[in-house]
Amino acid sequence: MRDTDSNTDSDTDTSEELPPYIVPFCERQVEILYEDDDLLLVNKPDLLLSVPGRHRLNKDCMITRVQQKYPTATVVHRLDLDTSGIMVVALNKDCHRHISRQFQERKVNKSYHAVVYGLVEKDDGSVELPIKTDWENRPLQIICHENGKHALTHYQVLERDTAKNTTRLLLKPHTGRTHQLRIHMREIGHPILGCDMYAHQQALTMAPRLMLHATTLEFEHPASGDPVLGHCQPAF
């Protein structure tokens, strides 16, 4: 298992620590989906960090690439290294402050496409299980009913493939815990294909990548107050 958390590299100097994971260079480019004076909507490819990692060799990322053309660009939120899809990038401090507040107050609506192992029985449902960091096995997260943080995910079946024994889901996280979608799907017996952190071996080998993509992002435009609905179709 490698550390695929958004941008965490080991910085603890002990002999027991694993060497930091050096992210291979991602040939695919960041796609600009929308642009105005205040913000960008971009499509981050999988296997590209959102922000620089701690290790000096993990500096290439979505925001440093975007800043080559938009020097004032700053990150408002993150996607894991293995997750592709839509992100909003602020172009000025007021925009950054406004959208960050919307994320903090859970006023931003997000949806993801995922392909999971097995045939999900219910057409829709919710998973409400508290999550905490597994400190002895970081960056893994665990379900903890005693002192985990509240985590809620809604799901809807989009397609069942009986031949492949997989289900395509629309996932809508109400909270934004680390690895929430991965661990929630694992907990209901349907791990996301290609997940090297929470999937069993069969589900891991059924896809060449993590089959998780941020598809939509909805929030209030910081300048006009109008609703912004960004959409980015998955490549899988």
Domain that holds residue 162: 31-231
Contact in structure between 57 and 51 (CB atoms under 8 Å): no
56 class by beta-carbon count within 10 Å (0-12 exposed, 13-18 middle, 19+ buried): exposed
Q: Is residue 112 part of a domain?
A: yes
pTM: 0.91
pLDDT tens string 129-150 = 999 999 999 899 999 999 999 9
Element holding 32 (H helix, E strand): strand 31-35
pLDDT tens digits for range 87-121: 999 999 999 999 999 999 999 999 999 999 999 99
Catalytic residues: 80
Average pLDDT of the residues in 193-220: 98
Q: What is the pLDDT of residue 157?
A: 98
The pLDDT of 63-88, averaged and rounded, is 98
Count of domains for the chain? 1
Provide the CATH number for the domain around residue 44. 3.30.2350.10
**Is residue 42 in some structural domain?**
yes
